[in-house]
Amino acid sequence: MSGTTSTTIKYRPVKEIALIGLLSAFNIASRIGLQALPNVKPVTSIIILSVILFGLSFAFKVTVVTTVVSNIFLGMGIWTFFQILAWFVICILTEILVDLFHIRENKPHYVLMACFSFVMGYVFGFVVSLDQFVIGGLGLFIPYYVGGLLFDTFHAVGNFFFYLMLAPILYKIFEKDLKKSEQN
C-alpha cells in the first residue's frame, strides 16, 4: 500500500534514544508548565508529528516516556494506563491515515493535518473516558463523557494551533535527515 521507499527518519539507537528523550522532555515540560490551561498541550501534536516523521515505534516510545514521567509529577492513577492507551490509539490512527493517503510522500497542507489533530483531541477524550466505562458501565460512562466534552474541545483547539505552530518547525529541523533517509 505505502510507497516503495520508507520516508520515515531512521537513526542509530543512541541517537534515537537521545531524540526520544528530547521530545519527551518537551512534552513533560509542556504538560507541567501549561497545567493552568485545561488540556491545551502540544503533546498530541508532537506525537502525531513523530509518527509522521519517525514512524510508529518511535512514537510509542515517546508516548510511554511522556506519560509515565509526567504523571510522576502530576499524579499516578488508573488514568495513566488510559492516557497511554489513548495516545497509542492516536498513533495507530495516524499511521493508518499516513499509509492510506501517502502523507509522507505527498506532504499535505499543514491545515489539513491540523484538522486531523483537532479530531484526535476528541478521540483522546473518548479513550480516556473509557475508564469510567470499565468502572461503571454505560450508565456512568455517558454522563462522564458528555461532561468532559467541553474540555475535549479545549484539547482539540489546542491541538489545532499547536500543530500549526510545531509542524513547520519540526519539518524544518529534520529536513536534512528526511532527505538523507529518502536517498537511502
Partner 1 sequence: MFKKIDQKTKLVIVFVIIALIAIGGVGIYHSVHPPVKVEVKTEKKKVSKKKAVEKEVAPKIEANTPKTDTSTKPTNTQEQSTQLKQATQTTPSTKKTPVPQKTQTSTSQAARKPEVAQTKQEAAVTQSQPVKQEPSEEQIHVTITGINENFYNSDMPLKEGATAYSILSETGLSYKKTGFGSATYVRAINGLAEKDHGPLSGWMYKVNGVAPNISAGGYKLKKGDQVVWYYVNYN
- Site for partner 1, rule CB under 8 A: 1-2, 6, 56-57, 60, 85, 88-89, 92, 95-96, 99-100, 130, 133-141
Backbone angles phi, psi at 108, to 5 degrees: -65, 170
165 residue type, one letter? M
Minimum CB distance to partner 1 smaller for 12 or for 172: 12
Residue 159 burial (C-beta neighbours within 10 Å; 0-12, 13-18, 19+): buried
Cα separation, 117 vs 122, whole angstroms: 9
CB 144 within 8 Å of CB 24: no
Q: How far is the CB of 131 from partner 1 (least distance, A)?
A: 8
Minimum CB distance to partner 1 smaller for 37 or for 173: 37
Minimum CB distance to partner 1 smaller for 49 or for 166: 49
Q: How far is the CB of 81 from partner 1 (least distance, A)?
A: 8
| 55 phi-psi bin (left φ>0, alpha ψ -120 to 50, beta other) | left
Minimum CB distance to partner 1 smaller for 40 or for 128: 128
Q: How far is the CB of 102 from partner 1 (least distance, A)?
A: 11
Q: How far is the CB of 9 from partner 1 (least distance, A)?
A: 14
Minimum CB distance to partner 1 smaller for 1 or for 14: 1
Cα separation, 75 vs 65, whole angstroms: 15
| 137 phi-psi bin (left φ>0, alpha ψ -120 to 50, beta other) | left
Q: How far is the CB of 110 from partner 1 (least distance, A)?
A: 24
Residues composing the chain: 184
